[in-house]
Amino acid sequence: VYEIVNRGHNFNDVVESFQISKDAGYKIVAHMMPGLPTMSPVEDINDFKMLFDDERLKPDMLKIYPSLVIENTPLYDDYKAGKYTPYSFDDMVKVLTEMKKMVPRWVRIMRIQREISTSEIVAGPKSGNLRQIVHKNLRSEGISCKCIRCREVGLSKKELDLDLKLNREDYDSSGGNEIFLSYDDSDDLIYGFLRLRYPSSKAHREEINDNTCIVRELHVYGQLLKLGERSKSGIQHLGLGKKLINEAEKISKEEFDVNKLLIISGVGTREYYSKLGYSLDGPYMAKKLA
């Protein structure tokens, strides 16, 4: 398929780029395009399963762009020549429904469908509410999607449940070990999470070796506050970020026997981590583990 659509790279390139990026502490967003030439719904469903199960892949986030026929593209030429037949709407919904059934709890589905005007779409699924239709299908089967986005407390209308449980999922990914920590309530809504990685032996950054773990992402949901400001109620006053970091430090020291924890951090959050005992180490914030 890569060759047919002139992608410019192959599967092995994807595997290598995933490993290099994860070992440097980056998050991975995979882009999937069901309905490409030569593919079938069954093959696309199997590809999603491989994406989630194959330790060479396992992205953190996902954007799904169903194949659409747009004028003045090579795919449009193939469509007009009878060489390409796009999925029916029902087939695309089936593929996405099956994908939603198998998505891991540590994946966030960021987008389903590009924002393209229906007037520009010659063929392919034109509905702009594919996600809602897929969720309706799941509800009819008594199933709910377990991806991060579908469980975010900020998207829920329920009252905040401050009796939270720290959950943990371990999995192998791109030659390293991943630990996904999350605070969830009794309805399985997620209030905050952290991605901790023990890198592969191929890690290339000078700051990272076999005595290092790295936090690739820390996210707590709730109202955005200025640095140092604290909410009198709700999620922010619980200190979930600090608790998640403390747990990551404990796991790094006790289970992986490393002496340094790195956190990939933007400039704006460095002050937060410095208050927790971290200091700059290259582009990362680092802490020696006693």
Q: How far is CA 146 from CA 3, 42, 164, 187, 277, in A?
A: 33, 22, 17, 12, 34
The reported pLDDT for the residue numbered 223 is 47
pLDDT tens string, the chain, 290 residues long: the values are 777 777 778 999 999 999 999 999 999 999 999 999 999 999 999 999 999 999 999 999 999 999 999 999 999 999 999 999 999 999 999 999 999 999 999 999 999 988 888 889 999 998 778 999 999 999 999 999 999 999 999 888 777 778 899 999 999 999 999 999 999 999 999 999 999 999 999 999 999 999 999 999 999 987 444 445 555 446 666 899 999 999 999 999 999 999 999 999 999 999 999 999 999 999 999 999 98
Distance CA(182)–CA(77), nearest Å, equals: 47
pTM of the predicted model as reported, rounded to 2 decimal places: 0.92
The ranges assigned to domains in the chain are 11-151, 156-288
The reported pLDDT for the residue numbered 231 is 54
The reported pLDDT for the residue numbered 234 is 60
Distance CA(182)–CA(220), nearest Å, equals: 9
The reported pLDDT for the residue numbered 226 is 46
Phi and psi dihedrals of 141, rounded to 5?
Answer: -100, 5
Distance CA(26)–CA(261), nearest Å, equals: 15
Instruction: Tell which phi-psi region holds residue 153, choosing left (phi > 0), alpha (psi between -120 and 50) or beta.
Output: alpha
CB-side exposure of 44: number of CA atoms within 13 Å? 25
The reported pLDDT for the residue numbered 203 is 98
**Contact by Cβ (8 Å): 230, 236:** yes
Q: Going by DSSP bridges, is the β-strand pair 190-198/165-173 parallel, antiparallel, or unpaired?
A: unpaired
> Would you say domain 156-288 falls under CATH 3.40.630.30?
yes
